[in-house]
Amino acid sequence: MSEQANGLIKQGIVQYQAHQFEMALESWQQALLLYQETGDKRRSGAALGNMGVAYEALGDYAKAIECYQQHLTLAIEMGDRRGEANALGNLGNACCALEDFAGAIEYQQQRLAIAREQNDSRGETEALGNLAFAFDAKGDSLAAIECYEQQLAMARENKEDRIERKALKSLKLAYKYLANYEKANEYRQQQLSLLLELFLNNKNSDFLQLAETVYLNPLEDFAGADLSIFDLHYVDLSGADLRDANLSSVDLTLADLSGALLSNANLVKATLCNANLRDAELSKANLSGADLRTKLPRANLTGANLSGANLSSAYLPNAVLVGADLTNADLKNADLSGVNLRGANLNGADLSRADLKGATVENVNFAGCLGISEGFKTELIEKGGIFD
């Protein structure tokens, strides 16, 4: 009979993993009856715990709590502290799902106490995480932070990388919620350090996959970050916040940076050949010596440093280059139609065969420019261009 019941337990696990929750529940109910017939309380408790999980998957939290409470009663009767801890943890999670946060906190605190009593470090870190989540859901961010900090310390002591990464993310978000951006940034910097460590050990890995591993969000977590060591070719950073980021000498070939925020970013000698920079925000970015043979329509390059940049055959219609430094830039065959160059410095730039149709050139310094015919020079002067 025990063998039959054990088989049903295993069968239920397979069914549960296949998302066949009703079938899994049925298998575990049958196993429970067999264990009860033989008076096997320990295994009856385990079956009840499994049944509770199945009921939760089916959305029946009342039934799930009933199973967990029966499991808890059996565990207490037998003096099974580990079973008691498991039942308490399950009860806490179910209460949290029902928004009974006071109940969730009480159960998780009891579970935490047992884990500490049993020197169960894994159970302790898990209980701390669940307790923190309950405090967070209740709106007690300070209590949640205290739990997350304890969890982080334990994870590092026990070298539990996955828990460490999750704790760092939770702490960053908790401090953000409290508008303590300095502390939030401290934890973000620790996430970035983990990302760098992973990259150095897995140089062939996908950058965004590594970032996901440490719970970094490219849309908001890379502002001000030093990304100069990473290989970012082909990477999708569309809409990413990269303000003040260090991307000097980085390979961004064929990267998608459309709509990305790159103001004040350091892109000195970066390779952006065939990257997508449509609508990108690059005001005051340092792009000196960068390879920009790519598409930059409507990009905002106000005040950007593009000295010595390679923009040959670049596509920049309607881009904003107000006050930009384009000294000695290579603009051969570039499409500059409709570009706003007001106040820009193009001293020594090569404009051979560049298309400046409809461009705003008021107060633009064209001194020493190459590829400008006398007739075109006259036209530019009439529009406000300066040739000293």
Using the predicted structure, report yes or no on whether residue 182 has a pLDDT greater than 80.
Answer: yes
Give the percent of the chain with pLDDT over 70: 99
Answer whether 217's CB lies under 8 Å from 195's CB: no
Return the pLDDT at 218.
87
Taking the C-alpha atoms of residue 3 and residue 58, their distance in angstroms, rounded to an integer, is 28
Q: What is the DSSP string of 283-298?
A: TT-B-TT-B--SB-TT
Question: Directed axis angle between helix 81-97 and helix 61-78, to 10°?
Answer: 160
pLDDT, tens digit (0-9, with 9 covering 90-100), for 4-63 = 888 888 998 999 999 999 999 999 999 899 989 998 999 999 999 999 999 999 999 999
Nearest alpha carbon to residue 224 among 263, 275, 282: 263
pLDDT, tens digit (0-9, with 9 covering 90-100), for 93-108 = 999 999 999 999 999 9
Homologous superfamily of 2-155: Tetratricopeptide repeat domain (1.25.40.10)
Using the predicted structure, report yes or no on whether residue 204 has a pLDDT greater than 70.
Answer: no
Answer whether 367's CB lies under 8 Å from 387's CB: yes
φ/ψ region of 347 (left if φ > 0, alpha if ψ in -120 to 50, else beta) reads beta
SS3 105: helix
- Across 132-162, b (16+ Cβ under 10 Å) vs e yields bbbbbebebbebbbebbbbbbebbeeeebee
Comparing 163-172, 196-205, 370-379, the range with the smallest average pLDDT is 196-205
Comparing 151-155, 197-201, 258-262, 272-276, the range with the smallest average pLDDT is 197-201
Taking the C-alpha atoms of residue 322 and residue 337, their distance in angstroms, rounded to an integer, is 14
Q: Where are the domains of the chain?
A: 2-155
Phi, psi for 365 (deg, rounded to 5): -90, 110
Q: What share of the chain is helix, strand, coil (3-state, %, to 5)?
A: 50, 10, 45
DSSP state of 242: -
Return the pLDDT at 1.
63
pTM of the model: 0.84
